[in-house]
Amino acid sequence: MRYCILSTEKELQFVAMPDSYMYQLVALLHRLHKEIGKLTVSERPAIPEVIAECTELELHAQGANIIQGIDYLADLEGRFASLQEENYPLIALLTEIRALHAQLEYLVEEGEYE
């Protein structure tokens, strides 16, 4: 597993992903940052900044926890799916989120998701 350290306005988030899928998560988050300003809805979902990624992570702060990548992507999909966007082709962003989520679901089904 690899860990992605994300920064939101309020906190740091720690997302665990299978090693070979971390690049896809980071690329997805960068793409969302690039495209979020093009949405015409008044309430845009907050996209955290990617701070770092690492292979080992030991948390010491109380309340800090590791979010599994599959859960993080399900939440991200929910935030984008609930938007009432009419002008920007939101389906393209949702497709990218759902594709990575589906890959992780397949790993779970095959027993390969740690």
Q: What is the mean pLDDT of the chain?
A: 91
The type of residue at 22 is M
**3-state SS assignment for residue 4:** strand
More confident residue, 12 or 113: 12
Question: What residues does each domain of the chain span?
Answer: 2-110
Phi then psi dihedrals of residue 58, to 5 deg: -125, 110
Residues 100, 113 contacting (CB under 8 angstroms): no
pTM of the entire predicted model: 0.91
112: confidence class by pLDDT, cuts 50, 70, 90: confident
The string of pLDDT tens digits covering residues 12-56 is 999 999 999 999 999 999 999 998 888 888 888 889 999 999 999
Q: How confident is the model at residue 114 (pLDDT cuts 50, 70, 90)?
A: low
**pLDDT of the residue at 2:** 95
Tokens of 100: 């990575």
